[in-house]
Structure 1
């Protein structure tokens, strides 16, 4: 009798697991009196701290994608929801969040993170669980092409994708503009020693010198200190006409201000992590004329982004969508498209190995997104290689050139 009871208990438990393996069941949520499967899309970003402006823009944009899919009943029988986690821009926190996400059976994919160093810490956790991680902001080439990417490109994690192009393109694109068009020929290069900042500065330096630019000095800073007097003095005495910074706006703004307050007559330039109104606030009036590159074309100028911008405003989000809003929406929609593909191939239901099938579906998706055509190459990188140079004018960034990297 005991054995029969144990067998019955085990059978019931197995049946319960079958129902919840890939999503929870909510009765009467699909609008026709039946039951709907709830699929959760995770969001990992810095939601507090110095980079919260970017992280909250990411969160709101994913939330908008989820609401849009549900409103349109885009995937029959599936209701989407968002679960957001704060990584505070710290790799250890990101890794903990990754572990928590993979432990929740209704989570089929995650959008994020913002920082390449955090992404680096999360990749293996997701890959081991066959779960998709799509970053709208990571730009370090090694994340998709391996540590030795400059010599041999080899994808390290099949479950990792991104809708932002890489610094293998962004650094050289910035160098070409600064040397060829801005005519700034003497650069002082600084980075924050992080995965993103150091990598970006290195790709800028290589192309800048190749073009004929002279690097008159290099240095590293601790972004937590906010006291950059020593490096400001070095820049002033170097004869540089431009400072290129590999790092993020919380340190980049004060660094720019202190360099200029020290009397250095330079333009300050950097990558997508400087492209935020927060940089202009921190750098002050001296930021006029400074440069930043960012991924893609200006969102406000894209026909494909008009509906996103209108819907974002209509939702009344308190925070701006910032630099990565459109890319976050597209990353979430890529997961939604993959779920749709998996459901349609499995008689309208999610299979036991839904996470694995979502990853496989992502590799082949292609759709018209907010930022343009969304699809991924063999490394999981976006096929959209567009970049834009912005310059601070009248207290705000304005686009000055949009295009792709010139090679050869």
Structure 2
């Protein structure tokens, strides 16, 4: 179930041997069969490559690998060969912080894609920001990562200028789900559950705010430990609450068993969650009980986008054993934004990477704009994606199927 990823990066040569930059190493042979350049620039990836969330993490890593291979084959940045350094955070903040420190220490790293989890990103942001190293997540949706802890009160402050994302935020995703459920799904009474993590709790809060604003009732609220697979206590509360739907803020390893146990207890009501449960693994874990359950996820289904046709074909051609999953297109676009920034930096310096390349690449990322796999890719003043599209998916048979795509006008 592994990939065809490029792994280690050649150790940086002495500064006196560098002809183009202090951030980027000259290939011993002056060229590389994968790209033909004579300066190596590394793009890092941090994601859960093992453990319960590896189905999503491997899709992230493979999609970045594909972007790198594509740039090298096209010789997109003259004189530069891109390499991949992928690190496993196991969805743990402590591992993410260690990985961030390791990536910063490698002077060839000029940009990082990841992580998957918002809580992991919280542990990494300052490390990257202090080093002026651009970080672009294809999956983080917590609004506080870009707009500060008081974003919900209107006090939006960008804390880390090195942080960007290609996914939209839960300030939009939660309300988008609430509007769909209330206005089109006919659901008026919800039981809200979260896993107490940054992503899950934040998403549940934005959903609740919009659902009650629309006139929906909250039949009950509770939390679970996602490491436990026995949710009988909260299931009993759900069954007696009279709720006609359960909203879960969290990820599929817990959401699948939770849905299964709710139905087994006799509460035949759907469970809906955010992009954290949008994966076939959720359906596998929930079993037949998953029928009718729903999830929202960032963007439109990649398979429906004309802009993604080449990406899908190339991903299959590359022979990756793992699917690109929910964030493949956004991961490719995140990596390409770094590649575009490197190109802009090189082009603006007479075809060479300048001294202090990290800071200059970071500055260039803020201004990138291109047609990506997922559509138009660019970043606003907070580092958030300007693409605000989302999709509702419903379990139908062995997997999720798209129901409706749209946007929610975040305030």
TM-score range, shorter chain: over 0.9
> How far is 1:172 from its partner?
0.1
CA contact (8 A) 2:20 2:353 kept: no
CA contact (8 A) 2:20 2:39 kept: no
2:332 to 329, 333, 336: 329
Q: Secondary structure at the residue paired with 2:128? A: helix
CA contact (8 A) 1:387 1:402 kept: yes
Show the 5 A alignment for 1:245-260.
245-260=248-263
1:360 aligns with 2:363: yes
Question: Which residue matches 1:25?
Answer: 26
1:166 aligns with 2:169: yes
1:36 to 14, 20, 38: 38
Show the 5 A alignment for 1:144-183.
144-151=146-153, 152-183=155-186
Between the aligned partners of 2:394 and 2:106, the Cα distance in structure 1 is 43
> How far is 1:13 from its partner?
6.5
Between the aligned partners of 2:66 and 2:297, the Cα distance in structure 1 is 22
1:212–1:317 distance in 2 versus 1, CA, 3 Å: same
1:229 aligns with 2:232: yes
1:316 aligns with 2:331: no
CA contact (8 A) 2:291 2:395 kept: yes
Between the aligned partners of 1:115 and 1:257, the Cα distance in structure 2 is 24
Between the aligned partners of 1:16 and 1:407, the Cα distance in structure 2 is 51
Question: Which residue matches 2:8?
Answer: none
Between the aligned partners of 2:37 and 2:51, the Cα distance in structure 1 is 40
1:20–1:366 distance in 2 versus 1, CA, 3 Å: closer
1:262–1:114 distance in 2 versus 1, CA, 3 Å: same
What are the Cα deviations for residues 332-366 of structure 1, in whole angstroms up to 9, with x where unaligned? 00000000000000111111111000110011110
Show the 5 A alignment for 1:90-239.
90-151=92-153, 152-239=155-242
> How far is 1:15 from its partner?
2.6
Question: Which residue matches 2:91?
Answer: 89
Q: Secondary structure at the residue paired with 2:371? A: strand
Between the aligned partners of 2:264 and 2:44, the Cα distance in structure 1 is 43
Question: Which residue matches 2:52?
Answer: 50
1:75 aligns with 2:69: no
Larger Rg: 1
Between the aligned partners of 1:320 and 1:39, the Cα distance in structure 2 is 26
Question: Which residue matches 1:306?
Answer: 309
Question: Which residue matches 2:5?
Answer: none
Show the 5 A alignment for 1:380-399.
380-399=383-402
1:231–1:35 distance in 2 versus 1, CA, 3 Å: closer
Between the aligned partners of 1:247 and 1:237, the Cα distance in structure 2 is 22
Between the aligned partners of 1:18 and 1:28, the Cα distance in structure 2 is 11
1:407–1:24 distance in 2 versus 1, CA, 3 Å: closer
Between the aligned partners of 2:106 and 2:224, the Cα distance in structure 1 is 39
> How far is 1:173 from its partner?
0.1
Between the aligned partners of 1:17 and 1:217, the Cα distance in structure 2 is 63
Q: Secondary structure at the residue paired with 2:42? A: strand
Question: Which residue matches 1:60?
Answer: 62
> How far is 1:35 from its partner?
6.2
User: In angstroms, what is the RMSD of aligned CA positions?
Assistant: 1.6
Between the aligned partners of 2:242 and 2:268, the Cα distance in structure 1 is 9
> How far is 1:394 from its partner?
1.8
Q: 4+ runs of 1 displaced by more than 3 Å?
A: 16-20
CA contact (8 A) 2:53 2:91 kept: yes
Structure 2 residue runs without a partner (length 5+): 1-12
1:257–1:145 distance in 2 versus 1, CA, 3 Å: same
Between the aligned partners of 1:13 and 1:99, the Cα distance in structure 2 is 22
Question: Which residue matches 2:246?
Answer: 243
1:18–1:125 distance in 2 versus 1, CA, 3 Å: farther
Normalising by structure 1, report the TM-score: 0.95
